[in-house]
Structure 1
Amino acid sequence: MTTVREARVFQLPDLGEGLTEAEIVAWRVAPGERVGVDQVVIEVETAKAVVEVPVPYAGTVLELHADIGAVLPVGAPLISVSGAAATEPTAEQHGEDAPGGSGNVLVGYGTSPASARRGRRVGASAASTVTTSSRDEERGTDPAAVPLVISPLVRVLARRHGVDLSTVVPSGAHGVILRRDVEQAMAANARPAERRATEAGGAAADERVPLRGLRRTVADKLARSSAIPHATTWIDVDATVLVEAREALRAADPTRRIGLLALLARFCVAGLRKYPELNSTVDVERGEIVRLSAIHLGFAAQTERGLMVPVVREAHRKTTAELAGELATLTGLARSGGLPPTALTGSTFTLNNYGVFGVDGSTPLINHPEAAILGVGRIVDKPWVVDGALAVRKVTQLSLTFDHRVCDGGVAGGFLRYVADCVERPAVLLADV
């Protein structure tokens, strides 16, 4: 008679960075399947990233303890796995580790890349069960019947709002369905319902959107930021020479894509070296201002999940080209959902280029627990006085919001003026490098 070891229950692990819960985005396995140690069995969305979670046991899946879309606290049961039967091949014969577990928790935190490619994704129906060679791409058994969805978050959004993905017209490259495509389908679905409600003499029902995940984290941060005694100062600057400098750098070496954001990051780092008061945090409990020795530069990146702030570590040790490379890498990971939680924490100063949204200016909110944030508006042609004569120049607005506890207006104004001088005359930076 075949004997089976006692079932092991794998619980939602501590995902680090103070995260206490996660939402199930996709299952990679189904009951009855065999799994190996460190095989990815589930994707969860935390407040900071989509994370692949591997199981530390080998055996057969007995039960999945929660449905897609469920929000679970750390420690909640995820999956039950039975031990290998005594008459079955051992884990070692399967090419797996011993069933005692590896101790690894998250892909990217000690788990081998190969393990992240094992398994299959289990969606809301059998049609969405697929074999995958990467964590993002999904296709059904009939590629023509199931659209291509790169982001699991787009699939979750569609499911929550009853959108049939097979009816959605993709706007992304290579036929990829994007978040905006699903939102357009949601709007189209809502219009007939509104007409029916109007014809019936009623009103359309209000939509309630749960405040959780990244949106809740942003809300919590903004609430803490609003409690900081802050002030904002701003200045219009002539960015004509800066734009010319960018073009000159690109022409000198087309392989190095140094953009305006990288140059602005370079100016901020140099400015923080001159005005270290702004690279600080306030320890309220001890009543101390902590001036930080390292500059970890956060920058705002708009993604399908919302606004994220990836962090360039040790920015003061990087060249402008290195800053450009890391900014591009982190932006790509943020938009694909591949950023680990550690890449979204620990910033000491934030740069926010909201000019990409076509706006001239804003009052940026401090990214708690930092002491300051610099916002940059769009660069537009405007009349500008140059050497006493009117000319058309490329002008932008810089806005600095700072914690008034760490410094007064003189320091904040000095930093802002220094960055503005670098924008107008990038050669000014040469004196400090």
Structure 2
Amino acid sequence: MTVKDFKLPDLGEGLEEGDIVAWHVAEGDVIELNQTVADIETAKAVVAVPSPFAGRVVELVGEVGDTLEVGSVFVRIDTDVDAGGVTTDADDGDAAAAAPRPSSGLDADEEPQPLVGYGQGKAGGTRRRRHRGAAAAAEQDAAPAEDAPILAKPPVRKLAKDLGVDLAAIAPGSGPDGIITRDDVQAAADDTSAPEAAAPAASEVAAPAAPEPAPASAPVRPGELTLGFRGRVPGEVEPIRGIRKRIVEKMETSRREIPAASCSREIDVSRMWDLAKDLTAGAQDQGLDVKVTPFSIVMRAAVLGLRRFPTLNARIVGRQGDEPGEIHLLEHIHLGFAADTDHGLMVPNIKDAHTRSLVEISAELADLAGRARDGSIGPGALTGGTFTVNNYGAFGNDDGDPILNHPECGILGIGAMRERPWVVDGELTIRRTATLRLAFDHRACDGGEAGRFVTYVGDLCEQPSRILLHA
């Protein structure tokens, strides 16, 4: 038996540890190259980790909830196992060393390479059964694959649990390789809550089937009425780890190290609201599957503002003790945005946003937000941001107190866009308005420059056609 240690790989951007969210294999299972063995939550995202070896799982090191350091032994795998799960060890060591490795049927130079740390390959979607002999194999071939793995990411599994949807009943899903998506779960929940269909005609009624036993109801906690937001229950204790641990560290560092100040302006977004609808309709007429939103227009306006006032797209570098350090004005704008997910706050960023058109920013915004919420986003999309825009108005908030995403020097928030009384040319009327609020690092940017930035971005939002004039 040749046992190889699979060590937890660096899942991106130099992360040092990860928490086990779920195991997808068990000790004794025979697995394929690149088959997902576990979901690991890092400080940035939940990552599906595939195996770099094919063989039989000898040992799983750690339980769900445990924290593992990068480079520590993660799984031990016996690679001297053939495709049927039969050990190919010989009596002597030389024969064992020469035992054939499981093959994909390709030539040696065409064998698939490990995809460690970035999701499973198409070859690794199923789990092989253990070898039980010809008779047992024949019985299994005739029987349905009841223990076939259910492919769904952790946030989707949690949504299914919250909505009372049995994932096994809707597998395979509509996603790649049969992965169950949020839409699959939501559709199943909607079907469950839909009214019963009309009774069929008498000629169509089959013989009544034996009634199925009612499913056992979930145990009810004493005194429990309903679950709280995202299934939370008063009195429970939640460990701080993974993404939440990273949030704690970033927020504490921001408040401790950055002398932040803020300024705001209330703006008329009526034209921007209408322009977003017109551009979305125009894009669809041209066959583009993209939705331009008022928030994506704000993001594009922020990019133009950062080009004019670059101290907000900067870093304080070399600040230690009595050394004041330097202000580095960054050439590239990697525009982050706050995304509310089942795992907590994430801040994906649009790389090189200064090179993107409004339509491109809108498409990238939708893509990154969707991947952040369904758990498929990678660490690379969550690091390297240079400035953040926060749409807390999406939760119905008129205003907020944005906290700088350390080590960034600025964050722009926008509140709810509502119809409110507004004075136009001396006359009181009703307009759709919102509040822009900028928090900034006062070490890098003075109040005058910050105020001018907010005014400039606000003017662009009030007259959004000017945004289209910029390449």
TM-score of the two chains, using structure 1 as the length reference = 0.79
- Is the 1:40–1:118 Cα contact (8 Å) retained in structure 2? no
2:117 is aligned with 1:106: yes
Q: Deviations over 1:18-46 (max 9, x none)?
A: 42222212222222222233332221111
Percent of counterpart pairs with the same letter?
A: 38
Residues 273-422 of structure 1 aligned to structure 2 (within 5 Å): 273-283=307-317, 284-285=319-320, 287-422=325-460
Question: Given the alignment, which residue of 148, 152, 160 partners 1:136?
Answer: 152
Kindly state the Cα deviation for residue 8 of structure 1 after the two structures are TM-superposed: 1.4
Indicate the SS of the match to 2:327.
Answer: strand
**Which position in structure 2 is the counterpart of 1:117?**
125
Letter in 1 for 2:461: V
Indicate which of 228, 251, 258 corresponds to 2:292.
Answer: 258
Q: Distance in 1 between matches of 2:40 and 2:268?
A: 46
SS in 2 for 1:333: helix
CA contact (8 A) 2:43 2:243 kept: yes
Structure 1 unaligned regions, length at least 5? 122-128, 138-148, 178-184, 195-203
Q: Is the contact made by 2:30 and 2:127 (CA closer than 8 Å) also made in structure 1?
A: no
- Residue matched to 2:237: 208
Q: How does 1:21-36 map to 2 (within 5 A)?
A: 21-36=17-32
Helix, strand or coil at the partner of 2:12: coil
The answer to whether 1:41 aligns with 2:37 is yes
Aligned to 1:124: none
Picking from 72, 78, 83, the partner of 2:74 is: 78
CA RMSD of aligned residues (A): 3.3
Contact 1:153/1:305 (<8 A) preserved:
no
Structure number with bigger Rg: 2
Amino acid aligned to 1:247: K
Larger mean CA deviation between 254-263 and 219-228 belongs to 254-263
3-state DSSP class of the match of 2:21? strand
Deviations 1:273-314 (A, max 9, x none): 111111001112470111100000000111111111111001
Which residue of the partner structure matches residue 426 of structure 1?
A: 464
Q: Which 4+ stretches in 1 moved above 6 angstroms?
A: 163-166
Distance 1:30 1:97 in 2: 29
CA deviations on 1:37-92 (whole Å, 9 max, x unpaired) are 33322211112111111222232211222222322222332211113124665323
Q: 2:277 aligns with which of 229, 244, 247?
A: 247
Structure-2-length-normalised TM-score: 0.73
Are 1:91 and 2:99 counterparts? no
- The correspondence for 1:225, drawn from 251, 254, 266, is 254
- Contact kept in structure 2, 1:36 and 1:97, CA below 8 Å: no
One-letter identity of the residue aligned with 1:119:
R
Contact 1:225 1:366 in 2 (8 A): yes
SS in 1 for 2:261: strand
Task: Rate the CA distance shift 1:380–1:130 in 2: closer, same or farther, 3 A.
Answer: farther
Deviation per CA, 1:82-138: give whole Å up to 9, x if none: 13124665323665979x995642125xx7x314524389xxxxxxx84247x427x
Q: Distance in 1 between matches of 2:107 and 2:43?
A: 32
- Specify the SS of the correspondent of 1:247: helix
Gap runs ≥5 in structure 2 = 81-87, 91-98, 130-145, 167-181, 191-216, 226-232
Q: Distance in 2 between matches of 1:312 and 1:90?
A: 43
Q: Is the 8 A contact 1:33 1:60 kept in 2?
A: yes
SS of corresponding position for 1:210? coil
Q: Tell me the distance in 1 between the aligned counterparts of 2:234 and 2:376.
A: 36
Which residue of the other structure, out of 62, 65, 85, is the alignment partner of 2:61? 65
Q: Is the 8 A contact 1:234 1:397 kept in 2?
A: yes
Quote how far apart the aligned CAs of 1:386 are.
0.1
- In the alignment of these two chains, the number of paired residues is 383
Alignment of 1:107-186 (within 5 A): 107=118, 113-119=121-127, 130-132=147-149, 135-136=151-152, 151-152=156-157, 173-175=186-188
Residue type matched to 1:46 in 2? T
1:246 match: secondary structure: helix
